[in-house]
Amino acid sequence: MYLSSADFKKRIEFSLCQQHASDDDVRAFCDKAIQADVGVACVNPVNIPLTVQRLEGQEIGISANVGFPFGSHLPEVKALETRKAIEGGATQIDMVINVGALKSKRDNLVMEDIRGVVEAAHGITVKTIIETWVLTEEEKKRACRIAENAGAALVKTTTGVRTQYLLEINADPKGATVADMHLMRRVLGPEIKIKASGGIYTLDFALELIRAGADQLGVSQGEKIIRKFTENYPDGLELSG
């Protein structure tokens, strides 16, 4: 697989998910996204209007985080949040699934949760965040199958948000992993894409994840990784499996 600089940039989804992000933070984030020419800018729903305004005329997708970061909102609330985000100008949705329901084997509720967002999105790309770092291998497989059957376009590893609750059950949480890329790619149909997110801070790791099956990369330091790719591979890179 040949990976040009332009191709690599469009795989990068740049995120600003902090609850304390000010308007100035959002503007600075958008300016970085424009300079780096990333594929997507992901923000919290309250920051969608300002992001849309700042990225006007740019070929950068704008994704809203829904049910973020815990996924424990009621399905109808996630659907409403989706509709409001799209009304505000979001062109994609990153939703957190109901992880507790998944672990309780209430698969119908997980399906309803995702499908409600997909239907509310009316054809706009929906990415489901399954929170791999709190799941068993069986739960990861089941989450992928449910997301695919519910109509999600992508399945995403984690929110990347480390909390005290996460650390209570996983003392050393890993976000995106190569092993999970291989697992998800085996389970999902070829038309369903994978978004690796969480702990992607170096170019080498980003390329390793792409080799393993990641289509998109959710990162908070996208401009640094893109700059490194451009410096190291000005003529692109032949990426072997």
Q: Residues 11-52: pLDDT tens digits?
A: 999 999 999 999 999 999 999 999 999 999 999 999 999 999
pTM of the model: 0.95
Predicted confidence (pLDDT) at residue 241 exceeds the cutoff of 70 = no
Q: Is 235 a catalytic residue?
A: no
Active-site residue, 37 included: no
What pLDDT is recorded for position 82? 98
H or E element that contains 2: strand 2-3
Phi, psi of 59 (to 5 degrees): -90, 60
Using the CB atoms, write b or e for 173-195: b if 16+ within 10 Å: bebbbeebbebbbebbeeebbbb
Can you tell me the distance from the alpha carbon of 175 to that of 197, in angstroms, rounded to the nearest whole number? 6
Active-site option among 9, 127, 140, 195: 195
Cis before 69? omega within 30: yes
Cα angle, residue 115 at apex, residues 211 and 95 outer, rounded to 5°:
55
Reduced to 3 states (helix: H, G, I; strand: E, B; else coil), residue 71 is coil
Fold annotation for 2-238 = TIM Barrel (3.20.20)
Q: Identify the residue whose tokens are 């609750």.
A: 165
Residue 37 has what DSSP assignment?
T
**pLDDT (mean) for 228-234:** 95
Confirm if 98 and 115 have CB atoms less than 8 A apart: no
Worst-scoring range by mean pLDDT, 46-50, 90-94, 165-169, 201-205?
165-169
Strands 2-3 and 237-238: antiparallel
Q: Which of 9, 78, 140, 156 is catalytic?
A: 156
> Which of the residues 9, 78, 94, 113 is marked catalytic?
94
The H-assigned helical ranges of 16-157 are 23-36, 48-54, 75-87, 99-103, 107-121, 137-150
CA distance 41 to 64: 9
Q: Is 195 tagged catalytic?
A: yes
3-state percent helix, strand, coil for the chain, nearest multiple of 5: 50, 15, 35
Per the listing, tokens 């801070």 go with 201
pLDDT given at position 41: 97
For residues 116 and 77, give the distance between their C-alpha atoms in angstroms, rounded to a whole number. 10
pLDDT at residue 92, as a whole number: 98
Question: To the nearest whole number, what is the mean pLDDT of the chain?
Answer: 96
Q: pLDDT class for 72, splitting at 50, 70, 90?
A: very high
Question: pLDDT tens, 138-184?
Answer: 999 999 999 999 999 999 999 999 898 898 988 888 899 999 999 99
Please state the rounded mean pLDDT for residues 97-103: 98
Asked if residue 208 has pLDDT above 70, the reply is yes
